[in-house]
Amino acid sequence: MLTVLEAIQQRRSIRAFSSQDVSDEMVAQLLEAARLAPSGSNRQPWSFVVVKDAAAKKELRRICAGQHFIEQAPVVIVCCANLNRYSVEEKKKRRREFRESGVDKTLSGRFADQKLMETLDAQPVPAETAKLGAIANTYIAIEHIVLTATALGLGTCWIGGFDDAAEIRRLFGLEASLLPVIVLPVGYPEGKLPAPRPRLKREDIVMEQGKK
Ligand SMILES: Cc1cc2nc3c(=O)[nH]c(=O)nc-3n(C[C@H](O)[C@H](O)[C@H](O)COP(=O)(O)O)c2cc1C
């Protein structure tokens, strides 16, 4: 098994899969990695659909701009932002769990003010805020899946290349509160691992403090 660092270094977007199947145990490990991901206020605003059905994968390929390797992968995980997790009811549940688990005692600043937090929990989250939060947090869970897959010798490719999330929602009969954000084909890479893809240099992405 690879270390986290090795998985980060060896991960590639894989766009060709062998016909070898992915076991249910492995899929379970991927979903467990997603389940353990961190999220703002522990809202865990994600849901996943595991797709193995050939007809559904063919439809996903069509919806995702005809990207053929989606159909080739033995398993495709449709990753959804779950807006329900921002409901007042869910917020109150998470607050209760924080209290019961003692997490609330580790919080500080404004977040340690229980009365204030309870008042905020009772207020609905604006739709745009919930959407942004749900997508950002779901991306964290997706990367947990991706790195775990790499550690298990599997390949994945984030697919955000679709125009209409509602088409995916309809395909799987998902409710309106579930927003498909990424389609993730999973399988054994076909052939040699691709070379690392180009990246910006460190100085391109790190700003020195105080420099104008
Ligand atoms: C949010 C997101 C959406 C992406 N959508 C697609 C996609 O639709 N099709 C595709 O072939 N690759 C897609 N990619 C993969 C990127 O092209 C890839 O990560 C990038 O080129 C760097 O290559 P690497 O992942 O092999 O390091 C996506 C990646 C991310 C993070």
pLDDT digits (tens, 9 = 90+) for 77-136: 999 999 999 999 999 999 999 999 999 999 999 999 999 999 999 999 999 999 999 999
**How many of the other CB atoms lie within 10 Å of CB of 3?**
9
Which sequence spans correspond to the domains of the chain? 4-87+124-205
Q: What is the pTM of this model?
A: 0.97
Structure tokens that stand for 86 in this block: 């921002």
- Residue pair 131/83 in contact (Cβ under 8 Å)? The answer is yes
Read off the pLDDT band of 210 (50, 70, 90): confident
Whole-number Å distance between alpha carbons of 171 and 39: 28
- In CATH terms, the superfamily for domain 4-87+124-205 is NADH Oxidase (3.40.109.10)
CA 158 to ligand 1 centroid distance, Å:
5
Q: Is the CB of 62 under 6 A from ligand 1?
A: no
Residue 205: strand, helix, or coil: helix
Per-residue pLDDT at 209: 84
Q: What distance in angstroms lies between residue 37's CA and the mean position of ligand 1's atoms?
A: 21
